[in-house]
Amino acid sequence: RGHKVKEAGPSTPVEILGLASLPLPGDIMQVIDDPSKARQVVAYRQAQAKEKALHRKGGRLTLEALQAQMAEGSMKQLAIIIKADVQGSAEALHGTLAKIGTEKVRVKVLHSAVGPINESDVTLAKTNGAVIIGFNVRANAQAREVAKRDGVEIRYYSIIYEVTDDMKQV
């Protein structure tokens, strides 16, 4: 009704002025009398949230980093994308890698296809935290650039046993 309130409990409608965006349900509000001090607090908290989000994404995704995460117990699944020169090689790799999992870590093949590694493969790997395995194929220039920028590891192989040996080490 236009009156100032000190506390608003659940289901109490209030009007809040001066917010740049909508607060989430359950957010705690803090009142600061000095507007310049309030801006400083907001800028500091936004910087902290941005830094936290960057650290959560992590750095470059490599098999070594995945191995460290698995040793800590924070990762239970190793996601892999397979690109091969022929369908028979892709199927053989898919079948072999699917059997490698242990009780601690399970290998999951997200995508298996024939042809060079492209940007969509790198994007899929980034969003799922996967490693790309290229068997007798290479990544095109755009895919290499996106992988470098996004920190996605691409491993190249020409012998199936080398792939399985590397995956068993993880």
Q: What is the pLDDT of residue 43?
A: 86
Q: What pLDDT band is residue 73 in, cutting at 50, 70 and 90?
A: low
Distance between start and end Cα atoms, the chain: 63
- The answer, as to whether pTM is greater than 0.75, is no
Strand 131-135 with 77-84, pairing: parallel
> Is residue 105 a contact partner of residue 78, using CB atoms and an 8 Å limit?
yes
Model confidence at 159: pLDDT above 80: yes
Read off the pLDDT of residues 10-34 as tens digits, 9 standing for 90 and up: 888 888 777 777 777 777 778 888 8
Residue with token string 């750095």: 59
Whether the per-residue pLDDT at 114 is higher than 80: the answer is yes
